Amino acid sequence: MEEKQSFLNQKIDLESPNRNIVPITTSIGRDGKLFVGGCSIEELVKKYDSPLYILDEMTLRKSCRAYKKALEKYYPGKSLPIYASKANSSIFMSNLVSSEGFGLDAVSEGELLTALKGGVPNEKIVFHGNNKSDKEIDFAVRNNIKIIVDNDHDLKRLEEFSNSLNQDLEIMIRFTPGIECHTHEYIRTGSFDSKFGFGIEYLNNLFAIISKTKHLKLKGIHAHIGSQIFELDPHKDLGEIMVKVILDSKKYGHSINELNVGGGLGIKYTESDDPPTIDEWVKTISFSIVDACKKNKVDFPTLMCEPGRSIVSSAGITIYKIGAFKQIPGIRTYLSVDGGMSDNPRPITYQSNYSACLVSNPLNINSKNKYTIAGKHCESGDVLFKEIELADCETGDLICVFGTGAYNNSMSSNYNRIPRPATLLVNNGEAEIIQKRERPSDLLKYDILPDRFIKQN
């Protein structure tokens, strides 16, 4: 038998899971089949059905601890890593990151409620968003959650809230530092042309406005320069820019002691991806802030960062069952699976690439076939892989797609009224449900047929 070089043959990086395509507990069983977290994937599907999201607890915790360790190693002041919960929001994820000493950022009342129910202390939660509703702001204020002000509309309503309550409110402001990163157009959020944050040229005017409010207390600044970033140089520039903003704020009587550099560290989806380690990323950020503080004689602020994808993505896999085959001679062979764009919208939305293997033949022994893997939805663009090499397979075989922990579950939908998959947590040979599988009947819960239509029938 011919065993081709596979990403599953590569050495696992235990210190920086974002540099692995697979969860760190991935292994091949004696039967030659795929295991994660000490669990047989085949056995999990027999018990829990497919499609199936699976998260590896050890990979999640190793990722969190890599950030904590690096911040303690490189930054002499206080630090607080904050999980960007938009990557994968659940009561379980909130609980896990909190148990590892993380805070959490949220962008809706739903994410805020999930964080609180998961046990994240309210003083470690920050509330983002470029169009917060009055109801969301009220929820955050009444739960003593710090709000990151994104625009003038935010600022005006927060002033009104604080005055109506006759209560001081600590706030942070988000600004765009104007740093460009080579990343996808739709996820580049730190340039001058961005829907997020105040323009850097407007900050002095903003500082003057805040200084005249009765109850708003400016305690921090936030900037985020993009997602899935493989470059370190842009982060070297960020420290100097942010410390200069702190200096400018002092002229208006503000005392900023929290500095949030956002997140954005990339992960390894495919063999060609080469992201920095978590240690390298934190080191670059920390040294940038430290050097700028020393140069400008500024006390070290509390350093916050907001990793999301690099915490959860490599910990996650999605399992599909193969259904139909369609061969178009001389063109391609379509292989259809029982999921697709409703559980992973990123390929059709961002043209995102992933790595995958057969659960029964993960090392791709005797691979000789190329397939286009299509989802089951009524959409021509519902294609997970345009061309992937796999060993012989047939209807009923299982495919594992790696790197699906981030933005798959959280961006999932019920397109074509397809229920969302269950999510399992695996660890030391045990599997636990952390999110139940939806049923078709669940999708009818909020449908209402008006009485006059019922009477007509």
Active site residues: 378
How far is residue 436's CA from residue 305's CA, in Å, rounded to a whole number? Answer: 31
How far is residue 93's CA from residue 447's CA, in Å, rounded to a whole number? Answer: 30
Kindly give, in sequence order, each residue whose CB lies less than 8 Å from that of residue 250, ignoring residues fewer than 6 positions away.
none
Strand partners, 326: 334
**CA 245, 251, 257: angle at the middle one, nearest 5?**
50
Give which of 411, 335, 424 is closest to 45, Cα–Cα: 424
Alpha carbon of residue 386 to chain centroid: 24
Kindly give, in sequence order, each residue whose CB lies less than 8 Å from that of residue 437, ignoring residues fewer than 6 positions away.
48, 49, 419, 420, 421, 422
